[in-house]
Structure 1
Amino acid sequence: MALLGRIYRSDFHVDFVGRRRVWYAVSGVILVICAVSMIFRGFTLGIEFSGGAVFQLPSHGGTVEQVEQTLSSVGIDPADGVVQQLETSKQFRVQTPTLTDAQTDKLTDALAKRFSVTDPDRDIAVSTVGSSWGSTITSKAIQGLVVFLVLVMIYLSVRFEWKMAVAAMAALIHDLVVTMGVYSLVGFEVTPSTVIAVLTILGFSLYDTVVVFDRVRENTAGMATSHRRTYAEATNDALNETLVRSLNTSLIALIPVASLLFVGAGLLGAGTLKDLALAQFVGIASGTYSSLFFATPLLVDLKRGEPAVQALDARVARERGKRARAVASTAAGPGAPVGSPAPDEPVSGEVAALSAGGAALADDPVGRPGGPGAREPVPAGAGLGGPGRRPPTAGAARRAGGRKPGRRGRPSGKKRR
């Protein structure tokens, strides 16, 4: 809770860009797992894409094993079909490959007899989908996805720059692979609802990335004359400035989607919702991750070779070098030459005495106050000359009206006879 409070108070700074190799490694592992699952495990295609027939009938206390036995009795391999028992409606849903009219009638009669269905025409719902219709839906979905990506690429190149468009497209493909890979891993059916959900999360992922890129453009607008932050530091600051907004947007979107997935499909058994909810849940989470940990660090790597970015980094390095030398010179003492030792380096006794204002070094070649050859201090007010002056000589004493020290004489002004 303390960490969340710091994040939402903007009192938390994460080095997203500096640790980008770690994020690349995490994304690489996730993408490899998803790609391997899609290649070797494949997808469970719904009837809309694979074609076939669907029978829905009352269970009347029957079991899934009895349905599979009925399929075998009419010459249909149970491995080629999908049998589901719907708990909420107390019904069976049986999906089979494409059947002829004679096979459809034969299976309907067998199911009605096995599960005591009195009126098969009314109580057993049969729907058939041809394989040509499924292939048409697949091709249309791919065409729509390609057109969508091309239009987004053009828009981002005009609105921002082509390198930002490349980074955004890479994050978009990352989200697509992760979402479809999760579908392959969990074995959910790919239905038209899945396609709709995928198109939805593509827009969400791009929205989050564009928000971050817009702040990056603001932070790097004056980089031609700036010398305070490098391009990587300005980009990382943009990520931290939009972090709370990204988390709030994702959290608000994930709560209702999680309700659809875990409550609607999981607890209530609404199987038609799980295809839509799973794609949205995974896509929103992956889109938030990619916009923070993948797209923006990738943009920094793409911009690193530009002359303007290299010149900015060089100016920042020179300015920081000047500041470091100035701090070291100030810490070494006033009037210290350039290259004087830093505060944490050993300082000689002479430099230490001069920085402390010790005037006794003028009479002491060794550099220690009160050392060999140093004069004795003169008490304040000693002699007639006041403080700091030498004692008066004998002539000066006579001129002042005194007598010679050590001699007896008469007062001045009287002559001897």
Structure 2
Amino acid sequence: MSRLGSMGARLYRGEVGYDFVGKRMIWYGVSILITITAIAGLMVQGLNMGIEFKGGVVVTTPKLAVSTEEARDAAEEVSGHTPIVQELGTGGLRIQISDVTTAEAGKIKSELATELNVPSNNLNADVVGPSWGEQIANKAWMGLGVFMVLVVIYLAIAFEWRMALAALIALIHDLTITVGIYALVGFEVTPGTVIGLLTILGYSLYDTVVVFDGLKEGSKDITKQTRWTYSEIANRSLNSTLVRSINTTVVALLPVAGLLFIGGGFLGAGMLNDISLSLFVGLAAGAYSSIFIATPLVADLKERDPQMKALKKRVLAKRAQAAEKGTSEDGSAENAENAEETEPEDAAPAGAVVGQRRQPTRGRGRRR
């Protein structure tokens, strides 16, 4: 078994673990800092909206002996706007000029043909009205709202309202970070970006629901035992699914990273950046939020419940009693740790994996 597989097995059995829930204030602080940075970038720089949302003209040229810099200068001179010039695989150029009306598009096409020394008939000009992009944006917002409502309703029914609220906060967290990074990087926002943003919502929820399902099983009949608090059970559930979440995220990120860094960066296919950046950032943010945000939030909300408060008091009181008993017997606090381990494994809540059970020996070898 590989080292990662061995570590995953030990995490699942509860032999090792990291106190994610106990150190939740650190993760909250990191998330707040990242979110504030994303919002600041969004407010200062804003989003670089594509031509589909602002309106304009897209001119496609045949293969030319003109560089992209020369074409950019010519397009800026005839239009008065800063264009976006991309080199196509056929050797031609795609010149995108935003904030141009339909009446101006024909004039720009003819003047651009003169500047590039190309017959006007060889240039293909597509005019995009801003109303089309506005319709796309409105439908995207509507789809996002419907998705959020359905997710909250489903999680509240399948689990409980605290988990639904935590998942909703994690989703908003992921979307805010993704949109903020788009503003900071300056990538163009196109309909492909919107598709990517809507796609990451499902990926973001996947790991969260897996952890919540384990937590639901692990917290059954939790008030009937006095060994663990709700936060401790939540942390055990999170550790048991940690390796699975990491593996799933890495496998999903690899092809997206290929699109973003190789296709968009190395090969120069800039149009791949529209959807690949949103997917890459969203997948990474979703894995982070399911581990460091959603589960600790559920534990925070659940610990406010009167039953969980009473359970925590009983657990702490029993541990203090065990520690006092161990100190009084041996004069040291070392037996306090062993006192808790002597408690029967049957006292553990359902779904909490604590190691191998010892089989009872009573009655074995009894002669008739």
TM range (shorter): 0.7 to 0.9
Q: CA deviation at 1:65?
A: 4.4
d(CA) in 2 for partners of 1:219, 1:194: 39
> Could you say what secondary structure the match of 1:176 adopts?
helix
- What is the SS of the residue equivalent to 2:297? helix
Query: How many Å apart are 1:87 and its aligned residue?
Result: 6.2
Question: Counterparts of 1:31 and 1:161 in 2: how far apart (Å)?
Answer: 26
Change over 3 Å in CA distance of 1:102–1:168 after alignment to 2: closer
State which drifts further: 315-324 or 153-162: 315-324
Alignment gaps of 5+ in structure 2 = 335-368
After TM superposition, list the pairs within 5 Å mapping 1:27-176 onto structure 2: 27-58=31-62, 60-74=64-78, 76-79=79-82, 82-86=83-87, 88-118=89-119, 120-121=120-121, 123-176=122-175
8 Å contact 1:88–1:268 — kept in the other structure? no
TM value normalised by structure 2 = 0.84
2:60 maps to amino acid = Q
* Structure 2: distance between partners of 1:172 and 1:72: 40
Q: 1:60 touches 1:116 (CA, 8 Å); kept in 2?
A: no
Distance 2:201 2:44 in 1: 25
Q: Which amino acid aligns with 1:244?
A: V
Specify the SS of the correspondent of 2:65: coil
1:59 Cα offset (Å): 5.8
Q: Aligned partners of 1:63 and 1:264: how far apart in 2?
A: 21
Secondary structure at the residue paired with 1:62?
Answer: coil
User: In the comparison of the two structures, how many residue pairs are matched?
Assistant: 329
Give the TM-score of the pair, scaled to structure 1.
Answer: 0.74
Q: C-alpha distance in 2, partners of 1:343/1:288?
A: 40
Determine helix, strand or coil for the equivalent of 1:224.
Answer: helix
Q: Residue 98 of structure 2 aligns to which amino acid in structure 1?
A: P
What is the distance in 1 between the residues matched to 2:81 and 2:71?
9
The verdict on how the C-alpha distance between 1:89 and 1:320 changes in structure 2, with shifts beyond 3 A counting, is same
The range that moved more, 8-17 or 214-223, is 8-17
Is 2:10 aligned against 1:10?
A: yes
Evaluate the alpha carbon distance shift between residue 73 and residue 328 of structure 1 in structure 2; reply closer, same or farther with a 3 A threshold: closer
Name the residue aligned to 1:233: 232
Q: Which residue identity is paired with 1:10?
A: R
Contact 2:18 2:239 in 1 (8 A): yes
Per-residue CA deviation, residues 157-178 of structure 1 (Å, 9 max, x unaligned), is 1111111110000000000001
User: Structure 2 matches for 1:289-328, cutoff 5 A?
Assistant: 289-328=288-327
Q: Deviations over 1:57-90 (max 9, x none)?
A: 146232344334434543x2233xx222316443
Higher-helix-fraction structure: 2
2:81 counterpart letter in structure 1: P
Change (3 A) 1:65 1:273: closer
Q: 1:257–1:325: structure 2 CA closer, same or farther, 3 Å change rule?
A: same
Question: 1:237 Cα deviation (Å)?
Answer: 0.5
Bigger Rg, structure 1 or 2: 1
In structure 2, the partner of 1:376 is none
Residue 325 of structure 1, CA deviation:
2.4
- 1: distance between equivalents of 2:5 and 2:253? 20
Matches of 2:86 and 2:216, distance apart in 1 = 54
For the 8 Å contact 1:10–1:244, the answer to whether it is kept is no
Task: Tell me the alpha carbon deviations over residues 81-127 of structure 1, each in whole angstroms, 9 at most, x when there is no partner.
Answer: x2223164433222223445553222222222222324x32x32211
> Helix, strand or coil for the counterpart of 1:54?
strand
Shift in Å at residue 295 of structure 1?
A: 0.8
In structure 2, the CA distance between the partners of 1:268 and 1:343, relative to structure 1 (3 Å rule), is closer
Measured after TM superposition, the shift of residue 56 of structure 1 is 1.6
Q: How far apart in 2 are the matches of 1:228 and 1:213? A: 21
1:343, 1:173 → 2: CA distance?
46
Query: What is the alpha-carbon root mean square deviation over aligned residues?
Result: 2.0
In the TM superposition, residue 132 of structure 1 has moved relative to its aligned partner by 1.1
Q: Which amino acid in the other structure matches residue 306 of structure 1?
A: D
Name the SS for the 1:14 alignment partner: coil
With over 3 angstroms needed to count, the CA separation of the structure-2 counterparts of 1:166 and 1:115, relative to structure 1, is same
Pair 1:100–1:152, CA change in 2 (3 A): closer
